[in-house]
Amino acid sequence: MSANEYENENRTHVISVRVTKEEHDRIMRNFEQSGCLTLSGYLRFVSLTAKIIRYTGDDIKRIRIDFHRIAEQINELAKRVNATGTLYPDDLKEIKEGVDNVWKRLIYIQSCLRLAEKEDD
């Protein structure tokens, strides 16, 4: 459904939203560039067709914590190797699993952002 097709339907419910002057100015600029016939049509179109990506600071915080944990493991491993001169494959297994886990989460976040960019084009 195109932005202007939203104008032709019967509407019975009202939603009121308060915004700051800066938010109002930005909304109005976007509305003017949209080609929509009315502001309500524009707001309806944007809110009903937008892709929502839930992305919080907690995601990044957990990744940072995991990176810190991996760095500590590498440091401890280096101390043991320096002290004993021996490196065992199992020593690296946990580090590799941690790095793989963080890598997968970063790729997931990146793919979500790329999908959002493609939909905006």
Q: Give me the DSSP letters along the chain.
A: --TGGGGGS-----------HHHHHHHHHHHHHHT-SSHHHHHHHHHHHPPP----HHHHHHHHHHHHHHHHHHHHHHHHHHHH----HHHHHHHHHHHHHHHHHHHHHHHHHHHHHHHH-
Q: Mean pLDDT lowest for which of 51-55, 62-66, 89-93?
A: 51-55
The residue extents of the domains of the chain are 4-49, 57-120
pLDDT tens per residue, range 88-108: 888 889 899 999 999 988 888
At 65-75, the pLDDT tens digits run 999 999 999 99
Q: What is the pLDDT of residue 17?
A: 92
84 or 111, which is more confident? 84
Selected residue with higher pLDDT from 45 and 7: 45
The fraction of the chain above a pLDDT of 90, given in percent, is: 41
Mean pLDDT for 38-46 is 91
**pLDDT at site 111:** 80
